[in-house]
Structure 1
Amino acid sequence: MNPRSPRGRKAGIALLGLLTAASAAACGAGGSGATEAAKSTGGLTITMWTRAATQAQSERLVKAYNSSHKNQVKLTVIPTDNYQPRIAAAAGAKQLPDIFAADVIFVPNYTSQGLFLDITDRIGALPYKDSLAPSHIKLGTLDGRSYTLPHTIDLSVWFWNKDLYEKAGLDPEKGPGTLKEFAEQAETVDEKLGKDGKVHGTFFGGNCGGCYVFTFWPSVWAANGQVMNPEGTASLNDRAPMTEVFAIYRDLYAKGVTGPTAKEEQGPTWTGFFPKGEIGVMPMPSTTLGSMPEDMKIGVAPIAGPDGGESTFVGGDSVGISSTTENADAAWEFLSWTVSDEAQVEVMAKNKDVPARTDLSGNKYSAEDPRVVMINSLVAKGQTPYALRFGQTFNDPQGPWLRLAREAVFGDAGKVAGLNADITKSLQQ
C-alpha cells in the first residue's frame, strides 16, 4: 500500500476537515481538461487564488504576464488564515479557480484529495524541468505523477550582525560554520554587549511550532539526520541529532543568551528584533534580507548541524491547475511562463526573490550580492518534509510537536520520548 495514495489513507487526512464530497467533486471533473470550453488561442481570462503571504510576488508575476500576453489572469488574494478553509469550501462547491497556489507543506493534502490537475507531461516537456526547485517538485508529486510547480521560495538561513560582532571582538566577516560555533558566537555577543539588556546573543520563536520546524530542523538535516520517516508517518524527533540541537538551544536559553521573550514568542514578531540591531546571530527567513535597514551590515550563512554541514528548510508556495478547470491550456500557458527565464530573472530575481530554478541561482541580479547567490544555491541542498497531517501535527499551537519542543528546550527533556510517540500517533490518524 502506497501511504501517499489517497486510496491508502483514511478520510481523516483531509486538511482542516476537507470533506470527502470536496474530493469527489474535484475528481469527478476527470482531471484532464477534456471539458475545457476554450483553448489558449487568445482573449481568455483565467482566475487565480493565492494567500496573502505571497501577495507581492504573485501580483508582480500576474502584472508582468498580463502586460505581455493576450490571455489575462485575474488574481484574488485571500487572507492567509482563511485560505485553507476557503479552498475546502470551493472544492466542495465545484468553484475552485483555474489556478491556485498553496503553502508547499500542505500540497500533499491537496494532491491526495484530487484537487490539482495532472501536469506530468507538461512539466516533462519543459527544457529546464530538472532545474525546478526539487523540494517543491517532490511534494507536488503523487504516485509518480506531478501536479504543481514552484511558485515562491523562502529559505531558512543564519543572519549575523557584523557591527555587533566587531564590538564584541569577533571577526565580523566570519559567521558560524557549525551550530556549536553559532552558540559560542551568540554567547560572546551577549556577554560583551548584553549588560544593558538591549542586545542579546540570539533569538528564536519558542512558542511557535512552525518557527521550530523552520529553524531547528535544517540543523538535523545538515548533520545527515531526519525528523520523520519518508512516508511522514513516524516521528524521529526523540533521537540524535535532533536531541543535540535541542540541547544546544536549551543551554543558550538557560544562560540568558536568547533574550527574555523567546520562551513566549508565538511567531508574529519573531523576526522583528534582528532588524533593530538587537540580536547578534539568529535564524531568519531569506526573504527578509531585502527588507533589512540599508545601513545594517549583515552576514548570511547556511544553517549548519552541531558539527558542520549545511541545509535549509525550503518553504514558500507551490501552484497548480485545479482539476475542475475548463481552461487547462490557458492556465498552463501562464504557469509555464512563471518559471521561464523572463519571469524568474526579470520579475523574481530583480526583486530579490529566490528563483524557483537552480540553474538561475547566479543570475545577473543575484550576482550583485554574494549573499544572495549563496542563498539561491541552498534551494538544491535543502529539504521540505512530507507529511499528510503536517499542519495538525507541527503547525497547530495545540498540536503535539509544540509540546515536545517546549519541553525539550524549556522544560523536562525526559518527557521527549513520550511526546514523540504522540507526534507519531498524530501523523498516523
Structure 2
Amino acid sequence: MRRWLGAVLTAGLAGCGGGAAVADGPVTVTLWTRAATETVSKAYAAAYNATHEDTVEVTAYPNEEYPAKLASAAGARALPDLFAADVVFAPQYAAQGLWLDITEKFTALPVAGEVAPAHVRNGTWEGRNYAVPHTIDMSVLLYNKNLYRQAGLDPEKPPTSLTEFAAHARTIDKLGGDVNGTYFGGNCGGCNVFTLWPSVWAAGGDIMNDDGTASTIDDPAMAGVFALYRQLYEEGVAAPASKDEAGPTWLGALQSGTIGIAPAPSVWLGIIEEKTDFELGVAPISGLDGGESTFVGGDAIGIGATSAKADAAWDFLSWTLGDEAQVEVVAKGKGVPVRTDLAANRYAAADPRVVTINSLLANGRTPYAKNFNATYNDPQSPWIATFRGALFGDASTALTDGAAALTASLAK
C-alpha cells in the first residue's frame, strides 16, 4: 500500500497540496466518516460552509462497514479528500500512507501545543504528523445520585480509588430488588479496553510497550483490576448480564436507573439524562489505590493521500481546531473540545460535571499500536480470550498466556 502511495506523494501531493490542481473558483471537499461521528462531522461542515467559499460534503457509512470501505477506496486510489476514523486505527492508516503528511502545517498552528496530545501521538508515524483530532470521547465513572442517597452515600463524594468504587457498589447493591451495584461489558473487547485500562494507567502500569509491538497485560496493576471486577461479579454486586454484555445493551443497562456506579463513555452523560428522571454524577476512573486516568477515544481525521484538493482540505482541518469551531460547534453541542485550553469554555461552565470530563483530556491516554483492531477490537481477537479468562475463567494463567498471544498479534 505504501509503495504506490509513496509514488503518488512523490508526484506532487506531499506537503499539503504542493502539486494539487488549482481551482478557478470555490471547490467541494469530500469528507467520509463512520456513522458514530456523522452528527459532529455534519455540524462542523455546516458551520464551515456557512462562512467559507469552499464547501465540505460529508458522507457517512455504517461503523462495521467503514474500514472495508476505506480499504477498497485506497486500493482503487480513490480516497476522499478527507476521512475520519476511530483514533485507534490512526497508526495503521498513517503507516500505510493513507493520509498526507501534514507535519509542517500542523506544527505551525498557534494552538498546536494545546491539541489533545493523546490523539496527536496516534496520528503520528515515524515522527511525522498525518492526522488531527476530529471528535473526543473519554471514559469516566457515571454514578446514580438517587441510588447513592437511598444507600446512605454522599452523592457529592464519588470514589477516589477503585477500592472505594467497589465499596460504594457493594453498599448500593444492598438496596436489593432489581438494583445492582455496578455493570461492565464482560464480553466486549472495546468496552474493556475503554473502561478497564485507565485503572492500570492511573496506577502507573501499562498494557503495551511504547511502540505498541508487545503486550504487558500481565502487569500486576492489570491483574489487580481484573481481580476486583471478578470478585464483584462473583458476589453478585455486578449485574448478572455483565458477563455476556457485548456492547449493544450496555447503554440501556445504565439508563434503567438500577445500576449504582459504572465506568462508561463520557458522552452518555447527556444521552442518559435526556431519557431518565434520575441525576448522574461524574468522576474520573482511578487505580486500586488512587490516581486517575481516562481513555481518550473518538475519531482522528486526515487528508486522503490521493486528494487533489489538499489545500482546501487543510483549510477545513485547521479551522476545526480553532476557537470558533471548538466552542461554538463542539462545546455548544455538549461535546468535548479537542483543545486542552478550552476545557472550561462558556458552555461547559454551566455544568461542573462537563468541566470535570473536559479537564481529563490533558492527561488522558490513547493506546498506540499499528495492529490494534485485530488484536483488541475484533470479535475473534486474542484480547477476548484473555479478559474472559481473567474475569470468568482460569485467572492463574489468563494474563500470562494472553500476553504471549497479544504480542504475537501486535507484531503482525
TM-score greater than 0.5 by the shorter chain:
yes
Equivalent residue number for residue 411 of structure 1:
393
Q: Which residue of 2 aligns with 1:50?
A: 33
Matched residue, 1:322: 304
Q: Does the 8 Å CA contact 2:189/2:379 hold for their aligned counterparts?
A: yes
How many angstroms apart in 2 are the aligned matches of 1:186 and 1:334?
A: 46
Percent of counterpart pairs with the same letter? 55
Describe how 1:95-174 pairs up with structure 2 within 5 A.
95-174=78-157
Q: Deviations over 1:207-263 (max 9, x none)?
A: 001111000000000001111100111111112100000010010001011111110
1:293 Cα deviation (Å)? Answer: 2.4
| Equivalent residue letter for 2:171 | T
Query: Alignment partner of 1:43: what SS?
Result: coil
1:266 Cα deviation after fit: 0.7
Select the residue among 335, 339, 343 that pairs with 2:325: 343
Helix, strand or coil: the match of 1:424? helix
Q: Which residue of 2 aligns with 1:311?
A: 293
CA deviation after TM superposition for structure 1 residue 402, in Å: 1.1
Matches within 5 A, 1:30-429: 30=9, 31-32=13-14, 33-38=17-22, 42-191=25-174, 193-194=175-176, 196=177, 198-294=178-274, 295-416=277-398, 417-429=400-412
Q: Secondary structure at the match of 1:211?
A: helix
Aligned residue type for 2:216: L
Deviations 1:167-192 (A, max 9, x none): 0111111111100000000011001x
SS for the counterpart of 2:30 is strand
Q: Which amino acid aligns with 1:216?
A: L
Taking the aligned partners of 1:230 and 1:384, their CA distance within structure 2 comes to 11
Partners of 1:134 and 1:271 lie apart in 2 by 28
- Contact map agreement 1:27 1:323 (CA 8 A) in 2: no
Verify the 8 A CA contact 2:267 2:335 in the aligned structure 1: yes
How many angstroms does 1:59 deviate by?
A: 0.9
| Cα distance, 1:42 vs structure 2 | 4.5
How does the TM-score come out when normalised to structure 1?
Answer: 0.92
Q: Secondary structure at the match of 1:293?
A: helix
Q: Distance in 2 between matches of 1:27 and 1:283?
A: 42
Question: Aligned with 2:358: secondary structure?
Answer: helix
CA distance in structure 1 between the aligned counterparts of 2:272 and 2:4, rounded to whole angstroms: 45
Instruction: Report the secondary structure of 2:64's partner residue.
Output: helix
Instruction: Spell out structure 1 runs of 4+ moving beyond 3 A.
Output: none
Unaligned runs of 5+ in 2: none
Secondary structure at the aligned position of 2:308 is classed as coil
**Letter aligned with residue 57 of structure 1:** V
Take 1:275 and 1:75, find their aligned partners in 2: how far apart are those partners? 31
Q: Distance in 2 between matches of 1:25 and 1:98?
A: 17
Tell me by how many angstroms 1:288 deviates.
1.1
Q: Distance in 2 between matches of 1:289 and 1:37?
A: 45
What one-letter code is carried by the residue in structure 2 that aligns with 1:26? L
> Structure 1: which amino acid aligns with 2:397?
K
Q: Identify the residue that residue 4 of structure 2 maps to in structure 1.
A: 25
- SS for the counterpart of 1:28 is helix
Q: How much has 1:275 moved relative to structure 2?
A: 1.8
> Quick check: 2:147–2:260 contact (8 Å CA) kept in 1?
yes
* CA distance in structure 2 between the aligned counterparts of 1:256 and 1:214, rounded to whole angstroms: 23
Asked whether the 8 Å contact 1:25–1:91 carries over to 2, the reply is no
Structure 1 stretch displaced more, 78-87 or 30-39: 30-39
What is the CA deviation profile of residues 71-101 of structure 1, one whole-angstrom value per residue up to 9, with x for unaligned ones? 0011111111111011111011011000000
User: Quick check: 2:273–2:280 contact (8 Å CA) kept in 1?
Assistant: no
Letter matched to residue 324 of structure 2: E
Number of aligned residue pairs? 404
Preserved contact between residue 186 and residue 245 of structure 2 (Cα < 8 Å): yes
The whole-number CA distance in structure 1 between the counterparts of 2:211 and 2:329 is 35
**Secondary structure of residue in 2 paired with 1:228:** coil
Q: Secondary structure at the match of 2:250?
A: coil
| Amino acid in the other structure paired with 1:362 | A
| Aligned residue type for 2:3 | A
Which amino acid is the alignment partner of residue 237 of structure 1?
Answer: I
Structure 1 residue identity aligned to 2:7: G
Which letter maps to 1:246?
F
Contact in 2 for aligned 1:27/1:115 (Cα 8 Å): no
What amino acid maps onto 1:184 in structure 2? Answer: A
Q: Which amino acid aligns with 2:268?
A: T
